[in-house]
Amino acid sequence: MPDTRLFLERRSYRRRRMMDAVRMLPLLCALLWLVVPMMWPNASTDAAPQTALSAALWYLFVIWVLAIAGSFALWRRIRRFDEETAAPLSADDTRALAQTSSGQPRD
């Protein structure tokens, strides 16, 4: 049945935005890892100053560390939300839980 509630209480709202972040993170990483290195001058292009390998190494690994940290932080936050929701269930919480657990968030 279509969920007709348009607006959520604060906590469910926050959790959904966290899930949005979970969904966006890989896209951001793909952008930084796939698209940016394609723009670097390499041996086959004639551009005189080639990208230094050590610079590329730093770039890729720093993004890697940031991506892992981001993923870890999101996991922590979502787990905390879920634990808070799972603990003492008030009527409001139950409703929010039913909404978040019934498949994909709709907004």
What is the binding site for another protein (CB under 8 A)? 1-2, 4, 19, 22-23, 25-27, 29-30, 33-34, 37-44, 50-54, 56-57, 60-61, 64-65, 67-69, 71-72, 75, 78, 102-104
Q: Min. distance of Cβ 89 from another protein in angstroms?
A: 19
Of 13 and 64, the one with the shorter C-beta distance to another protein is 64
Of 8 and 51, the one with the shorter C-beta distance to another protein is 51
Q: Report which of 32, 34, 33, 21 is spatially closest to residue 72, judged by C-alpha positions.
A: 21
Q: Min. distance of Cβ 4 from another protein in angstroms?
A: 8
Q: Min. distance of Cβ 90 from another protein in angstroms?
A: 23
Distance between CA atoms of residues 17 and 105, nearest Å:
10
Q: Min. distance of Cβ 6 from another protein in angstroms?
A: 14
Alpha-carbon 104 to chain mean position? 15
Decide: 67 and 29 in contact? Cβ < 8 Å.
yes
Q: Is the dihedral of CA 51, 54, 57, 58 positive or negative?
A: negative
Q: Inter-axis angle of helices 91-101 and 53-86, to 10 degrees?
A: 140
